[in-house]
């Protein structure tokens, strides 16, 4: 029998709270601490604050060092920007603790932020720990999965990836992040401040290119509103384009909206179109619930990262994730 991997949960916002029951019920994992700087959560039981159906006997602390004392791995669900999360990563790494984080810019920062990436990689190797940024997107649907889909191809000329979501069932922070309910002017102002966008689309393009051995000349990341009615927004349409030798070889379409788009119902789906030999089209009708899937990806990544080679890792240089659990009854 192997000892369970001891987990410190860092960050208990909506996603962190949603994640707790997945970790608490997962065999081979034991939550030993929880950390959050929100005074309204400090001292309360993790099970009470999260979406668990019973107390877990773990008091939330605002002391990161204390929270890391008995941990093998920290699950960090705090911010999306690498520069902002880097000091926290350093503190955790210095304690000799592995990291799995939902920080979108950490998913593949080697091209967008090479110096900081190299620094984090050095920190991790010196302390012999592994660091991974992942989730459903970026981390799986719009980057790892398309690269895996090319495994049956002799050649690939270009890839188009679409993620279309009816965001009505998503958590409120996600709906706010896509600008649902704003006027077009409010939407554009927040886009200019980088407060409305799907963080990670550029990182996904660079992850795909790195895995396929492509050298991109440049990338584009364009954010536009999805209109519910004239002057008001239902959500966001974000388009990423990657070019090689002046030709568009990667097209990533991220569209998420609440209600209707220009009077038409939203039909969620995931789609990967590969222009190659052979050429083929993968479609997941109805799409994949991003909140549930993100929690699953994080939980499934934990044992992989706990045994991975030291350094800053990405989803294309670790073994593929799987749900290695017993089949539930019923």
pLDDT score, position 155: 98
The verdict on 215 and 304 lying in the same domain is no
Task: Express each pLDDT in 110-131 by its tens digit.
Answer: 999 999 999 999 999 999 999 9
C-alpha–C-alpha distance, residues 13 and 19, integer Å = 10
The boundaries of the domain holding residue 57 are: 5-135+292-313
327 in a structural domain? no
pLDDT at 184 over 70: yes
Q: How many domains is the chain partitioned into structurally?
A: 2
The verdict on 101 and 179 lying in the same domain is no
Answer yes or no: are the C-beta atoms of 141 and 283 closer than 8 Å.
Answer: no
The verdict on 67 and 193 lying in the same domain is no
Q: What is the mean pLDDT of the chain?
A: 94
pLDDT score, position 328: 75
pLDDT score, position 330: 63
325 in a structural domain? no
Q: What share of the chain is helix, strand, coil (3-state, %, to 5)?
A: 30, 30, 40
pLDDT score, position 260: 56
Assigned token pair, 177: 């992040």
The verdict on 123 and 192 lying in the same domain is no
The verdict on 260 and 155 lying in the same domain is yes
The verdict on 122 and 13 lying in the same domain is yes
pLDDT score, position 197: 87
Task: Give the torsion sign (CA, 156, 282, 142, 296).
Answer: negative
321 in a structural domain? no
Lowest mean pLDDT among 35-44, 62-71, 226-235: 226-235
The verdict on 125 and 153 lying in the same domain is no
Answer yes or no: are the C-beta atoms of 72 and 9 closer than 8 Å.
Answer: no
Can you give the CATH number for the domain in which 192 is found?
Answer: 3.30.360
Task: Express each pLDDT in 282-306 by its tens digit.
Answer: 999 999 988 899 999 999 999 999 9
The verdict on 28 and 131 lying in the same domain is yes
């Amino acid at each position: 029998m192997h000892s369970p991997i001891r987990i410190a949960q860092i960050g208990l916002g909506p996603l962190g709270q949603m994640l707790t029951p997945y970790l608490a019920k997962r065999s081979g994992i034991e939550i030993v601490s929880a950390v959050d700087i929100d005074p309204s959560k400090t001292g309360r039981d993790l099970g009470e604050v999260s979406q668990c159906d019973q107390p877990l006997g773990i008091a939330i602390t605002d002391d990161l060092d204390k929270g890391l004392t008995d941990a093998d791995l920290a699950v960090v669900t705090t911010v999306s920007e690498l520069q902002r999360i880097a000091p926290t990563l350093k503190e955790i790494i210095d304690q000799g603790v592995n990291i799995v984080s939902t920080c979108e810019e950490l998913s593949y920062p080697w091209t967008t932020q090479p110096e900081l990436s190299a620094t984090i990689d050095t920190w991790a190797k010196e302390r012999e720990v592994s660091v991974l940024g992942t989730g459903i997107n970026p981390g799986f649907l719009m980057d790892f999965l398309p690269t895996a889909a090319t495994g049956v191809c002799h050649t690939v000329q270009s890839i188009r990836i679409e993620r279309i979501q009816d965001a009505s069932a998503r958590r409120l922070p996600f709906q706010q992040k896509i600008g649902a309910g704003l006027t077009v002017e409010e939407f554009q102002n927040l886009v200019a401040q980088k407060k409305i966008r799907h963080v990670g689309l550029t990182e996904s393009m660079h992850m795909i290119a790195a895995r396929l051995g492509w050298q991109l000349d440049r990338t584009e990341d364009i954010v536009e509103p999805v209109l519910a009615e004239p002057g008001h927004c239902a959500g966001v349409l974000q388009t990423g384009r990657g070019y090689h030798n002046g030709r568009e070889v990667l097209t990533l379409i991220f569209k998420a909206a609440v209600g209707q788009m220009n009077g038409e119902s939203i039909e969620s789906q995931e789609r990967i179109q590969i222009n190659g030999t052979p050429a083929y089209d993968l479609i997941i009708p109805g799409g994949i619930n991003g909140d549930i899937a993100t929690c699953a990806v994080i939980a499934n990544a934990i044992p992989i990262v706990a045994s991975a080679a030291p350094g800053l890792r990405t989803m294309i240089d670790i073994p593929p994730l799987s749900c290695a659990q017993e089949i539930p009854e019923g």
